[in-house]
């Protein structure tokens, strides 16, 4: 219709031309048009007219701002980013949805564009630090953007210089005007209270911390105990000694396991909380769960996908209470092959809530722990037998062995950090991981065989260009890397094993990980490279991940003898849900990293002036990144704090060397450094080499003594 008409048209004109008169049919048309706008095929301009994108020579997308003033348009059609220069970004905010006309080439050959239309503002509020200078108040935004928002005194709301606040945007930026805001919430200072970092991140990343009233009401109406009628028609597993094994700080329990020996192998049951029984599609609980898509985890709190009445109560597989579950029963051979898998609904009663450390201690022969766990010790021995079989299968298929160090932040009673340590993984962690992977694979195969639309968890292999750069770096370190390694996880494992004793191994393993695309959810199955699996999904955590809940609904549809054609979700619907849940997963991870970095800085701020041991974990032209061994945090030794010289990257970026002094610093080198400065806002720690300690006057004299022929010091 738009193509034939040749001009932009309003909704009323389109409805009239299509003779769509009934309200429900008009609603369907409006939704279809909005889907086309979201897909970037149509543009809705300021006059409320729908326009064909191809007629406008434009692309649409979402703005991603950079702290240095420029930005990029992340295009709706996936055709590639468009560079937006600082002059264009003056009127835009991070997250704005805009239409852009292509104008030429930007940096690194990227397409560049100018703004045609701001279709939708991406934010109505902002979190940042309130600053007052020369009688003028403004807020410096946190996160990716460093935009300033003027705050008139009438809208100051009691804000104090240096504290974080939330402002409501009252005037958006233009080419020749600054954005303005009104303080609506006082957050405080992360230096004084680390929890402020989490409060700020929730606002910056748009994570909803409070459930809507109708969601809380519906959750409360479900009660706290499983009703007798809900148990009807389910397999009764209450006499089976199923156990949960989780971290000591876990509060919601998605999964329980049971194993027993059988001829040639094991019978393994993985019982998963039956969230789909309580969270029905389309209802308020479901809409809010889809909106959140995932639980978010921070040092001081959890922001759950479901209300606590469900996540920690009615759905959680707590010990000694009846709970509804969806079960994957598998026959696991001694070689780790899984066969004869089936799914069924059940009611269970967890025998005991176990933690990884105790389970491993019992396995290692700790008499006291074994005595404490004697009621389930046979069950644990069986589970370790299953684990040994599944691990053999994992090694055969060559799944990536990328166990990166993970910081564990322990808080004191005052909410401040008591310690930062490395989270230690043991075989109890791997036992549960292998059981969950086995159940996830069977769930994916179950739905695939029945041609039901679902969300697979897919992971593409290494990017060709990134992997070539990695190969050159590893070869410079003496590791032999064949070109076949890009397609063979087993070969990557061999390389990692050869590097495992290096002090910079975590950085090298991270570099390997960064050559690969991020795992995502989508209805098109391309396999999971990292796990070495052709078919994979997420089934085992429906309390905290929405894709798992969708998988449960698919399995339930089949168990109820439903046909694929009668299923609530089709492939386009799953594509939209896959994009949503993948984006929300990344958002939660970014928010968690944002908070962890600032908690670490708040912890180190009390240690300014101290000397610490560290390892060079990264090199750039402007300095050395050093991981402080005892504190497990990273800082920067800037070239300006090194002995006066001109420093250059050598050996393919693996060493920073001085021209005159002969001093050089290589990846993995151990150093002693002094903590100079800490900026909690920017999550930045400045270090100096202890043997290079010098006063500013000494550094100035040294620099003045350098030959004048050097025009610029490397920074």
Look at the alpha carbons of 92, 94, 99, 104 in this order and tell me if their dihedral is positive or negative: positive
The first and second tokens of residue 658, run together, are 């001085």
User: Does residue 214 sit in helix, strand or coil?
Assistant: helix
Specify the pLDDT at position 710: 31
User: Higher model confidence: residue 118 or residue 448?
Assistant: 448
Confidence of residue 698 (pLDDT cuts 50, 70, 90): very low
Specify the pLDDT at position 6: 62
The first and second tokens of residue 107, run together, are 């940096």
User: Does residue 443 sit in helix, strand or coil?
Assistant: helix
Q: For residue 635, what are the contacts with CB-CB under 8 A and spacing of at least 6?
A: 604, 614, 625, 626, 628, 673, 675, 684, 685, 686, 687
d(C-alpha 166, C-alpha 159), whole Å:
10
Q: How many residues does the chain have?
A: 715
CB 113 within 8 A of CB 83: yes
Confidence of residue 646 (pLDDT cuts 50, 70, 90): confident
d(C-alpha 513, C-alpha 697), whole Å:
43
Question: Residue 702: pLDDT above 50?
Answer: no
d(C-alpha 526, C-alpha 528), whole Å:
7
Bridge partner list, 409: 420
The mean pLDDT value of the chain amounts to 88
Residue for token digits 């402080």? 628
Question: Residue 326: pLDDT above 80?
Answer: yes
Residue pLDDT, tens place only, 628-645: 988 888 999 999 888 878
Residue pLDDT, tens place only, 359-412: 999 999 999 999 999 999 999 999 999 999 999 999 999 898 877 778 888 898
CB 165 within 8 A of CB 183: yes
Section 167-188 average pLDDT: 93
Domains in the chain (CATH in brackets) are 125-188 (2.40.50.140), 213-460+518-596 (no CATH), 464-514 (no CATH), 607-704 (2.40.50.140)
Residue pLDDT, tens place only, 12-24: 888 888 888 888 8
Residue pLDDT, tens place only, 514-570: 888 899 999 999 999 999 999 999 999 999 999 999 999 999 999 999 999 999 999
Q: For residue 545, what are the contacts with CB-CB under 8 A and spacing of at least 6?
A: 293, 294, 295, 305, 538, 581, 585
CB 334 within 8 A of CB 389: yes
Question: Residue 173: pLDDT above 70?
Answer: yes
Confidence of residue 668 (pLDDT cuts 50, 70, 90): confident
Specify the pLDDT at position 339: 86
Residue 579 CA, distance from chain mean position: 14
The first and second tokens of residue 27, run together, are 């609603």
Section 251-268 average pLDDT: 95
d(C-alpha 411, C-alpha 425), whole Å:
20
Nearest to 179 by CA among 250, 240, 122: 122
Section 460-471 average pLDDT: 84
Pairs from 380-385 (Cβ < 8 Å, separation ≥ 24): 380/243, 380/354, 382/259, 382/260, 382/261, 382/266, 383/257, 383/259, 383/431, 383/435, 384/427, 384/431, 385/259, 385/261, 385/266
User: Does residue 353 sit in helix, strand or coil?
Assistant: strand
Most confident of 473-482, 490-499, 621-630, 703-712: 621-630
d(C-alpha 687, C-alpha 641), whole Å:
8
Specify the pLDDT at position 703: 39
Q: Pick the range with the lowest mean pLDDT from 89-98, 239-248, 259-268, 273-282.
A: 89-98
């Amino acid at each position: 219709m738009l193509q034939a008409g040749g001009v932009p048209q309003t909704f009323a004109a389109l409805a009239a031309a299509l003779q769509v008169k009934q309200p429900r049919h008009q609603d369907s048309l409006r939704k279809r048009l909005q889907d086309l706008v979201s897909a970037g095929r149509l543009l809705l301009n300021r006059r409320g007219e729908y326009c064909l994108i191809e007629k406008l020579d434009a692309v649409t997308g979402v703005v991603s701002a950079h702290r240095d003033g420029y930005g990029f348009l992340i295009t709706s059609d996936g055709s590639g980013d468009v560079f937006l220069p600082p002059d264009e970004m003056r009127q835009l905010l991070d997250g704005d949805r805009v239409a852009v006309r292509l104008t030429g080439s930007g940096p690194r050959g990227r397409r560049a564009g100018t703004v045609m239309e701001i279709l939708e503002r991406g934010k109505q509020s902002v979190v940042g630090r309130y600053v007052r200078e020369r009688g003028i108040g403004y807020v410096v935004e946190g996160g990716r953007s460093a935009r300033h928002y003027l705050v008139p005194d009438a809208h100051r709301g009691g804000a104090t210089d240096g504290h974080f606040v939330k402002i409501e945007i009252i005037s958006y930026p233009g080419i020749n005007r600054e954005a303005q805001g009104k303080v609506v919430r006082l957050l405080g200072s992360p230096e004084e209270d680390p929890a402020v970092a989490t409060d700020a991140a929730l606002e910056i990343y748009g994570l909803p911390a409070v459930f809507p009233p109708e969601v809380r009401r519906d959750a409360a109406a479900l009660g706290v105990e499983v009703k007798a009628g809900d148990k009807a028609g389910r397999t009764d597993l209450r006499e089976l000694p199923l156990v949960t094994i989780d971290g000591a700080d876990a509060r919601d329990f998605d999964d329980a396991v049971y194993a027993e020996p059988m001829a040639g192998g094991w019978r393994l049951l993985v019982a998963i909380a039956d969230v789909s029984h309580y969270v029905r599609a389309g209802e308020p609980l479901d809409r809010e769960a889809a909106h959140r898509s995932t639980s978010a985890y921070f040092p001081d709190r959890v922001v759950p996908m479901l209300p606590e009445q469900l996540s920690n109560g009615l759905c959680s597989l707590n010990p000694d209470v009846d709970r509804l579950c969806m079960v994957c029963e598998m026959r696991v051979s001694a070689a780790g092959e899984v066969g004869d898998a089936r799914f069924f609904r059940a009611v269970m009663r967890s025998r005991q809530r176990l933690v990884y450390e105790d389970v491993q201690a019992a396995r290692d022969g700790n008499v006291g722990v074994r005595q404490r766990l004697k009621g389930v010790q046979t069950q644990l021995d069986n589970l370790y037998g299953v684990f040994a079989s599944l691990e053999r299968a994992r090694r055969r298929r060559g799944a990536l062995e990328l166990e990166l160090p993970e910081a564990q932040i322990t808080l004191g009673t005052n909410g401040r950090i008591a310690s930062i340590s490395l989270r230690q993984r043991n075989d109890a962690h791997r036992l549960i991981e292998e059981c969950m992977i086995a159940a996830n694979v069977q769930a994916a195969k179950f739905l695939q065989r029945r041609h039901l639309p679902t969300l697979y968890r897919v992971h593409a292999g290494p990017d060709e260009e990134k992997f070539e750069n990695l190969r050159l770096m590893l070869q410079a370190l003496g590791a032999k890397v064949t070109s076949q390694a890009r397609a063979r996880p087993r070969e990557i494992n061999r390389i990692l094993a050869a590097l495992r004793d290096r002090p910079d191994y975590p950085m090298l393993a991270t570099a390997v990980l960064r050559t690969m695309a991020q795992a995502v959810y989508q209805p098109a199955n391309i396999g999971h490279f990292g796990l070495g699996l052709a078919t994979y999904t997420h089934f085992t955590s429906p309390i905290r991940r929405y894709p798992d809940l969708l998988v449960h609904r698919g399995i339930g549809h089949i168990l109820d003898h439903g046909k694929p054609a009668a299923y609530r979700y089709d492939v386009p619907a799953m594509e939209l849900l896959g994009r949503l849940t993948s984006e929300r997963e990344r958002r939660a991870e970014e928010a968690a990293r944002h908070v962890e970095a600032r908690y670490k800085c708040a912890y180190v701020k009390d240690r300014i002036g101290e000397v610490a041991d560290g390892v060079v974990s990264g090199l750039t032209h402007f300095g050395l990144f050093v991981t402080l061994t005892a504190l497990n945090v990273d800082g920067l030794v800037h070239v300006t704090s090194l002995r006066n010289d001109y420093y250059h990257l050598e050996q393919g970026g693996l060493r920073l060397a001085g021209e005159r002094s002969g001093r050089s610093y290589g990846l993995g080198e151990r150093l002693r450094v002094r903590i100079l400065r800490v900026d909690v806002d920017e999550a930045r720690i400045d270090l100096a080499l202890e043997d290079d300690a010098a006063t500013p006057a000494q550094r100035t004299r040294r620099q003045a003594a350098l030959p004048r022929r050097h025009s610029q010091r490397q920074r």
